[in-house]
Amino acid sequence: MAQPATLQVAVVGTGKMGADHVRRIQRVISGARVTAVVDVDAERAKAVAARVEGCTAYTDPAAAMAAADVDAVLIASPGPAHEAALLTAFEHDLPVLCEKPLTPDAASALRVMEAELRLGRRRLQVGFMRRYDAEYMKLKSLLGTGQLGRPLMLHNRHRNVASPPGWRSEMLINDSVVHEMDVTRWLLGHEITAVTVLRPAPSANAPDQMQDPQFVVFETDGGAIVDVEIFVNCGFGYQVQAEVVCERGTARIGDGHAMVTNMAGRWGGTIAQDFVERFADAYDREVQAWVDATRRGEVTGPGVWDGYAVAAVCEAGVRALEEGGRVEVELVERPALYDVS
Amino acid sequence: MAQPATLQVAVVGTGKMGADHVRRIQRVISGARVTAVVDVDAERAKAVAARVEGCTAYTDPAAAMAAADVDAVLIASPGPAHEAALLTAFEHDLPVLCEKPLTPDAASALRVMEAELRLGRRRLQVGFMRRYDAEYMKLKSLLGTGQLGRPLMLHNRHRNVASPPGWRSEMLINDSVVHEMDVTRWLLGHEITAVTVLRPAPSANAPDQMQDPQFVVFETDGGAIVDVEIFVNCGFGYQVQAEVVCERGTARIGDGHAMVTNMAGRWGGTIAQDFVERFADAYDREVQAWVDATRRGEVTGPGVWDGYAVAAVCEAGVRALEEGGRVEVELVERPALYDVS
Amino acid sequence: MAQPATLQVAVVGTGKMGADHVRRIQRVISGARVTAVVDVDAERAKAVAARVEGCTAYTDPAAAMAAADVDAVLIASPGPAHEAALLTAFEHDLPVLCEKPLTPDAASALRVMEAELRLGRRRLQVGFMRRYDAEYMKLKSLLGTGQLGRPLMLHNRHRNVASPPGWRSEMLINDSVVHEMDVTRWLLGHEITAVTVLRPAPSANAPDQMQDPQFVVFETDGGAIVDVEIFVNCGFGYQVQAEVVCERGTARIGDGHAMVTNMAGRWGGTIAQDFVERFADAYDREVQAWVDATRRGEVTGPGVWDGYAVAAVCEAGVRALEEGGRVEVELVERPALYDVS
Amino acid sequence: MAQPATLQVAVVGTGKMGADHVRRIQRVISGARVTAVVDVDAERAKAVAARVEGCTAYTDPAAAMAAADVDAVLIASPGPAHEAALLTAFEHDLPVLCEKPLTPDAASALRVMEAELRLGRRRLQVGFMRRYDAEYMKLKSLLGTGQLGRPLMLHNRHRNVASPPGWRSEMLINDSVVHEMDVTRWLLGHEITAVTVLRPAPSANAPDQMQDPQFVVFETDGGAIVDVEIFVNCGFGYQVQAEVVCERGTARIGDGHAMVTNMAGRWGGTIAQDFVERFADAYDREVQAWVDATRRGEVTGPGVWDGYAVAAVCEAGVRALEEGGRVEVELVERPALYDVS
């Protein structure tokens, strides 16, 4: 049997992330090509389109999605623009890969969910790329074997060299810990039911007024306790680690010990300096998996329900950060469309 | 200048721990010998004494402490017997090494403190042996250099293969996490101000009714957040790990990676199976350090204040376990005798 | 500027390796597609072709190379068939990626070299895929910085679970250590000048008459000493490790410590069980790099000179194995076409 | 049963090593005290004696050994002085712990052996302290279980920051690789039958005329191949590593990964800077074991045969270094007194 035709993708947003996805689709992965790029900045869209044969530049996502040579949409525009773009994609019944966050809050995520429910089938994948990281996949696979028994606790470390300009305390929850929220739900197969944020005395290297680091604790409906150290001005590197503690053993990923040197009185190795370095392979695998599934007419990755649930946990997390104490997470009932098979 | 005379030690309690200390003093370390052993079980005391030249067996600690050939006392009897033995030792103005806990609760620890204050000088060392473990010492020393900046968080793992018969949920706090309480105070130089105990769904391998594992969070007066995973039926080994997260870096101990094998599809090594294996060197170093300091007329190790402070944190921890939520620690004002030099 | 057109590749040989390359070009990498497959077994060729849209099956490499829709050739047939296929590819002036070995001996490799020299430009890349492994690339890159100083020694371990049926002692040199020969030359930038093979008492798990393990020592024209443990019936896994010792430090790769578990008294992780698992990413990167370079009209990977030099070292190695003692390597003078830029 | 009386030790040689042993006996271990110190430098001997109660200073080893308060002798004088001191100790039938080398060459070692044979019982232990290192002991113990099968190869790394002033090429064999000779014989239970020394282009950091590093290969009568990288000006630390490759697995020691830090873009830890740091515990354990055995009237450590065999291998090694090629080791037949029980 022959393979389905090459997937023709419109990439919405041509900033750093969008441009990188264009490069990925054209130069790295198989089975897709970029036929449209969209950006409110027309010059930027044109510049990106010019580097790709047969690619048209647009400023309006709706125009791109209406084009005959567009089969699927990859959304990499800023979060506040996602809802409108997603709803338009649904109107054209186009499959979508949407960079995280799905939308900026739970209410708007719910509106997207309702639109997909009206379509009656899953069309959307959210860009939680850690699910495609080789180490996280190994960890998930090990848990699936049952060798370690039931998961009881999950310890996470999430460290960045320095926060970008303009970052504020709640962004540690919304932009960083958001990944551990998805990882928790996916690895354990639990929903998060409550969030507590503890506030160490901030590092002298954190910007004024920023609560950095934070120590975040999740409770889950499966009875697990999950802790996350988020430290976005740790100074030394980009480091993402996770240890699952189960009834009969533990498993840890993220040590990143590829090459070991002995030099000047020290043994050890280098630490990745940003998420692009750490998760480059995960992005490649994520987009390849999305292209492959889309060509088969399927959605296999995290979807609207995941984007919504994480948005609700973020809202609880930000309240916990601001008010202190433990905040419970409220979720709507999960529609059958999102039942885990 | 010649060395002081050999220290003549009475060992009170000849159970597993006491008998091991007798062996240590006689066969491993330098500068001391055991001249008296005390046990309410006269036969057991005699049996131990018979193996040591010039050693007398007693059933009454006071009789041993009154003996002419006793210069110092090592207390390894059960916790409830400590207070009486310590007060007797103080009456004889004898230097003491007292196995942890100092006493079973903060009120009795305060009475011991008052007795030592009346002596007007420090005579007592508490057996928090982790301070003498090579890895903890390295960690303390690294923190002391200031290279990493100020400590912000401390992550601890404390795992036992299986809990002894008769263990109950609160013993995870009083007998196990007690070590992390002392380690926190010593490593960071902070007092613990509040305790929260989170309760994962218990492991199927924990005895009925036992809350195991527990996830314990300390807040400190230096603004640090400290977490402790205590899991006394983890099944796979005895494992004690600590990672300090500072402003400019982190340091982790306890991986225990001495010998690495490749065998049957796996690389790795063995995990210690009990604390004797893991901390044998720490006990040797602790007792040697106590003997050396005592022969010089000094107390250099953790003292009554440390025993008291930890007892108070234990009480808060047990309340936090039983009642849920966050419990604040109440300490008396620290007497000047216990000022850190 | 637009990208060059999609590269149309004929894959010669549709055994395990060839079929995997077809899958890779069609499903994993970007910029190429398989338009022809060749196998002496017509049924096998047809079966593979049937799974690829627009792909024709051939039994004669020359027929495939003459086809209008073939721009480049990937040779994955058995070694003895390489010379004829390569010479035919050169006649059609087609770029080639040839699985190792280039040819079975130095004399035939020289004939291929002469044919490429007649073309007057490099057209051939040999499939030494370790040069595309992320860890080896990091090691090469570190050496390139000069931080560690000049390389003095290189220690290699190369272990397989079990040798395939029919393996003989000299295949440990020709099929396994051949990789360390290329790695040595590439990492250090030296030619190998002499080979010694030491013969430990064979493992009881090696087939009768097989000298396994072997301990091979290279000397290089840059004064380095290189040792290789080759052990093809080690039983526990597939393991490839390298440590370069330089004037100011060392660097080691291949520990493969991605996920660490604690379980049943042991910490550690799994060892890859075959080269496909260990080097899957390297193959992907190799073929992508070859496609990218070929579309630009370049050859950037290891070439005919590398294939020839390694063949000559293999011949010396087999003599050293059979005769004992140290055997010098004889190379022709390197043609200017193969000068390292 | 009571313990034997405290062992009264004469320490011959009060240089760095001798003085450290005096400290060790007095301050660290149990069951012995130093009653005599001997040094040709009378002032140095007196200075050391003055720090120890009841210790007499001598300039003549024979005088110390004749003293009534001397039960045993620890020889830490320079190698050329060993033979005379050892023969005198044998005349007084005193047990001896002799720092390595036993004597400077095989011929003098043979004379010491003959003297001990005349005594008719083993009285001498040689100071090969690696046998008392916790990691080497674990490795030996693992090999003893037979889990890994028969040892086939042993890879060793032996690196020093910088060579002391006055060091010459042959000292890398006689003073450094000598430890791997003993380790090989002890770990594998084989005698070494041939030595080859390969000479990489020397490091720019090695003193003029010094062949550093060297790559040394042993063959053994059990069919094992053993390689030793000796590099005494590696610049970065003191590092001793060993990996045994057996029929079913391998085991490696010496990574020294106690504390792991993340700092300034790097993960890892510190490397010991000298053998005192690396092997402090081994020396303590060695002397304690010697004292314990001596008090029981036994010799349990490496003895004269080991000292002799290693001296013979050193002679072969130096010839291999100077002449190139492979040099066979000639040993006398092993007297029954030295049969391994």
If we measure between CA atoms, which residue out of D32, D37, D34, D43 comes closest to residue D14? D37
CB proximity A31 to D under 8 Å? no
CB proximity D269 to A under 8 Å? yes
Q: Is the pLDDT of residue B241 over 80?
A: yes
CB proximity B218 to A under 8 Å? no
Q: Which of C29, C251, C255 is the closest to A261 by Cβ?
A: C251
Q: What is the pLDDT of residues B160-182, one digit of tens each?
A: 999 999 999 999 999 999 999 99
B225 and A149 in contact by Cβ < 8 A?
no
Domain A131-278+307-338 in CATH 1.10.10.60? The answer is no
Percent of chain D with pLDDT over 70: 99
pLDDT confidence band for A340 (50 / 70 / 90)? confident
Whether C156 and C226 have beta carbons less than 8 Å apart is answered as yes
pLDDT for D3 equals 55
Contacts of B139 in chain D (CB under 8 A): 259
pLDDT for D254 equals 93
pLDDT for B3 equals 55
DSSP state of D80: G
CB proximity C235 to D under 8 Å? yes
Q: Which of residues 71-130 of A touch D (CB under 8 A)?
A: none
Percent of chain C with pLDDT over 70: 99
CB proximity B235 to A under 8 Å? yes
pLDDT for C286 equals 97
Give CA C49 to chain center in angstroms.
Answer: 26
Q: Is the pLDDT of residue A4 over 90?
A: no
Contacts of B28 in chain D (CB under 8 A): 29-30, 288
Closest CA–CA distance from residue C241 to any residue of chain B (Å): 13
D270 and A265 in contact by Cβ < 8 A?
yes
Closest CA–CA distance from residue C71 to any residue of chain D (Å): 45
If we measure between CA atoms, which residue out of C107, C70, C109 comes closest to residue C86? C109
Whether C124 and C86 have beta carbons less than 8 Å apart is answered as yes
A236 and B215 in contact by Cβ < 8 A?
no
CATH number belonging to domain B132-278+308-338: 3.30.360.10
CB proximity D31 to B under 8 Å? yes
CB proximity D260 to A under 8 Å? yes
Q: Which of D235, D239, D266 is the closest to A271 by Cβ?
A: D266
Q: How far apart are CA B317 and CA B311, in angstroms?
A: 10
Mutate which: D192, D215, D266, D327, vs C, most C CBs within 10 A: D215
CB proximity A239 to D under 8 Å? yes
CB proximity A292 to C under 8 Å? yes
Q: How far apart are CA B314 and CA B173, in angstroms?
A: 6
Residue in chain B lying closest to C274 (CA)? B265
Q: Quick one: how many helices (H) and strands (E) in chain B?
A: 10, 15
Mean pLDDT computed over every residue of chain D: 96
Q: What is the pLDDT of residues D63-97, one digit of tens each?
A: 999 999 999 999 999 999 999 999 999 999 999 99
Pick the CATH number of C133-278+307-338 from 3.90.1150.10, 3.30.1490.190, 3.30.360.10, 3.40.50.11440: 3.30.360.10
DSSP state of B131: G
CATH number belonging to domain D131-275+307-338: 3.30.360.10
How many beta-carbon pairs under 8 angstroms link C with D?
A: 97
Low-confidence residues of chain C, pLDDT below 70? 1-4, 341
Residue in chain D lying closest to A272 (CA)? D265
Q: Which of A51, A249, A258 is the closest to C253 by Cβ?
A: A258
CATH number belonging to domain A7-129+282-302: 3.40.50.720
Name every residue whose Cβ is closer than 8 Å to that of residue A238 and which is 6 or more positions away in sequence: A159, A160, A161, A271, A272, A273, A274, A275, A277, A278
If we measure between CA atoms, which residue out of B217, B147, B202, B128 comes closest to residue B169? B202
β-strand pairing of C225-231 with D214-220: unpaired
pLDDT for D31 equals 95
Which helix (H) or strand (E) segment holds residue D13: the answer is none
pLDDT for B2 equals 45
Would you say the pTM of this structure is higher than 0.90?
yes
CB proximity C257 to A under 8 Å? yes
Neighbours of chain B (3+ CB pairs under 8 A): A, C, D
Secondary structure (DSSP) of D155-175: EEEEE-SSPPTT--HHHIIII
Q: At B110, give phi and psi (nearest 5°).
A: -65, -40
Q: Is the pLDDT of residue A226 over 60?
A: yes
Contacts of C190 in chain D (CB under 8 A): none
A262 and D239 in contact by Cβ < 8 A?
yes
C249 and A258 in contact by Cβ < 8 A?
no
CB proximity B324 to A under 8 Å? no
How many beta-carbon pairs under 8 angstroms link A with B?
A: 96
Q: How far apart are CA C307 and CA C311, in angstroms?
A: 6
CB proximity D335 to C under 8 Å? no
A273 and D265 in contact by Cβ < 8 A?
yes
How many beta-carbon pairs under 8 angstroms link B with D?
A: 100
Contacts of B224 in chain A (CB under 8 A): 200-201
Closest CA–CA distance from residue D36 to any residue of chain A (Å): 39
pLDDT confidence band for D276 (50 / 70 / 90)? confident
Q: How far apart are CA A70 and CA A60, in angstroms?
A: 14
Q: What is the pLDDT of residues C328-338, one digit of tens each?
A: 999 999 999 99
How many beta-carbon pairs under 8 angstroms link A with C?
A: 99
CB proximity A3 to C under 8 Å? yes
Q: What is the pLDDT of residues D13-52, one digit of tens each?
A: 999 999 999 999 999 999 999 999 999 999 999 999 999 9
Mean pLDDT computed over every residue of chain B: 96
CATH number belonging to domain C7-130+282-303: 3.40.50.720
Q: Which of C53, C139, C147 is the closest to A259 by Cβ?
A: C139
Q: Is the pLDDT of residue A52 over 50?
A: yes
D229 and C198 in contact by Cβ < 8 A?
no
Q: Which of A236, A260, A264 is the closest to D263 by Cβ?
A: A236
Residue spans of the domains in chain C: they are 7-130+282-303, 133-278+307-338
CB proximity C253 to A under 8 Å? yes
Q: Which of B153, B235, B245 is the closest to A248 by Cβ?
A: B235
pLDDT for D1 equals 38
B249 and A235 in contact by Cβ < 8 A?
yes
* Interface pTM, i.e. ipTM: 0.94
What average pLDDT does the segment A330-341 reach? 91
pLDDT for A341 equals 55
A198 and B225 in contact by Cβ < 8 A?
yes
Q: How far apart are CA C66 and CA C69, in angstroms?
A: 9
Listed in sequence order, the DSSP H helices in chain B are 16-23, 42-50, 61-66, 82-91, 106-119, 134-145, 169-171, 178-188, 275-295, 304-323
If we measure between CA atoms, which residue out of A255, A241, A231 comes closest to residue A160? A231
Residue in chain B lying closest to A213 (CA)? B152
pLDDT for B341 equals 55
Q: Domain B7-130+282-302: which topology?
A: Rossmann fold (3.40.50)
Q: Which of D153, D201, D236 is the closest to C249 by Cβ?
A: D236
C236 and B262 in contact by Cβ < 8 A?
yes
Q: Which of B153, B203, B234 is the closest to A213 by Cβ?
A: B153
Q: What is the pLDDT of residues A5-40, one digit of tens each?
A: 899 999 999 999 999 999 999 999 999 999 999 999
Contacts of C1 in chain A (CB under 8 A): 51
Q: Which of B31, B249, B258 is the closest to D261 by Cβ?
A: B249
What average pLDDT does the segment D239-255 reach? 96
Which superfamily does CATH assign the domain made up of D7-129+282-301 to? NAD(P)-binding Rossmann-like Domain (3.40.50.720)
Q: How far apart are the first and last CA of chain D?
A: 27
Neighbours of chain C (3+ CB pairs under 8 A): A, B, D
Q: Which of D239, D269, D273 is the closest to A268 by Cβ?
A: D269
